[in-house]
Amino acid sequence: MTTGYHVLQTSDLFSEKFYNDMNIEYDDLSNYEQQCDTLILSEKKKNEVKEICKKYLRYLDKNKTAWNVVNPKYDVCILLNYWIYYKLAYHFGLNNTEDINKAFSSFQYLWSYSMSPLNIKLYSEKCKPNFELVKHNDWQKRKELYDYCVNYDSIKLTVEYYKLECQKYYKYIEEKSSVYDHFEGFCNSGGSDCPHFYENCKDYNPKIVLSKLACYDDMEAEKSRAIAEASRRDQGTEFNSHRSDAVGLAAGSEPEVTPQTSDIGTKVGHSVLGVAPVLLTATALYRVPGFAISVETPQIT
């Protein structure tokens, strides 16, 4: 079914724009090489980790004004932390937590062993890599929650005025239900493992916001139509499958004629009809038109 609403591109989301910008290979990254050479690293993926370091320092250097904003709507340091950890996981492998954590820890001490020739130490102190933020087994869900929380503010403003945009973002918001389901249990009970930013994000729960969107009724109607159509297709497929099986059974159900079955047919003819010998064999019985089909045709409910 053709929906008629726009498809969401990840580049439409603020968090993805931020991460994409962090991944750019800027020409001036070499300016940060000296500082990143001070990282205490193993030889494994050493160059890749240094590249992450240079991009991190460049962001701090080029965005000094970000630290002067009073009560910002989101914490860029959280985004930076998740970006660093995600990039390390990409290079070392998602399950290689030992190497990931060692490399991440080296970022924490970046300023302890050297003085940067760049005037960014003051800002780095405000945005040091925070191991407490990423040390959890469910760090990917925590990242997903914060990304969504950051994205929602801009999404809300857009969907209020543009219906097609509302439809585009609807599914993205809806998909975050599982993330909130993951955290609701231990966060609502005051668990210590709850992300510290959850309180600022809980009002963006899809269970709360979806029904308030201007396109809610249209999207739910579209979903109902899609479910009904899928159900009809499944029923049609099941019917055709049963029909095919029935025809196959009819074609291959003729039993082998043996002396015993032939003799049975002869005896039946004599005893039941009480007339001259009538040879009604089992083979002949199964060859009566429509007999096998009527036995095997399934009941349609």
- Select from 158, 190, 218 the last residue of a domain: 218
Per-residue confidence band for 25, with pLDDT thresholds at 50, 70 and 90: very high
Domain extent at residue 194: 10-218
89 and 209 share a domain? yes
Domains identified in the chain, total number: 2
Q: Are residues 243 and 196 in the same domain?
A: no
Residues 60 and 150 in one domain: yes
pLDDT of 204 reads 97
Tell me the whole-structure pTM to 2 decimals: 0.72
Taking only the tens place, the pLDDT of each residue in 88-117 is 999 999 999 999 999 999 998 776 655 455
Q: Of 218, 236, 252, which one is at a domain's C-terminal end?
A: 218
| Residues 258, 211 within the same domain | no
Domain boundary residue among 202, 218, 234?
218
Q: Is residue 27 part of a domain?
A: yes
**Rounded distance, CA 245 to CA 293, Å?**
11
261 and 244 fall within a common domain: yes
51 and 193 share one domain? yes
* 1 domain residue, yes or no: no
What pLDDT score does 94 carry? 94
Better pLDDT: 96 or 237: 96
Q: What is the C-alpha separation between 142 and 148, in angstroms, rounded?
A: 10
- Let me know whether 42 and 135 are in one domain: yes
Better-predicted residue by pLDDT, 113 or 290: 113
85 and 208 belong to one structural domain:
yes
Cα-Cα end-to-end distance for the chain:
27
Q: Are residues 229 and 194 in the same domain?
A: no
Q: Tell me, yes or no, whether 3 lies in a domain.
A: no
241 located within any domain: yes
111 located within any domain: yes
**What is the longest distance spanned by two Cα atoms in the chain?**
118
Mean pLDDT (the chain) is 78
Give CA torsion, residues 200, 81, 106, 120, to 10 deg: -100
Taking only the tens place, the pLDDT of each residue in 111-136 is: 665 545 555 555 556 788 899 999 99
Q: Are 101 and 135 in contact (CB under 8 A)?
A: yes
Tokens 């097609």 label which residue?
Answer: 164
Query: 244 and 155 share a domain?
Result: no
Question: pLDDT tens for residues 188-202?
Answer: 888 789 999 999 999
Query: In the predicted model, what is the mean pLDDT of residues 221-247?
Result: 75
In a domain, 5, yes or no: no
Same domain, yes or no, for 206 and 263? no
Is the pLDDT confidence value at 47 over 70? yes
Note the pLDDT of residue 242.
Answer: 60
Total Cβ atoms within 10 A of residue 269 = 17
Whether residues 182 and 227 share a domain: the answer is: no
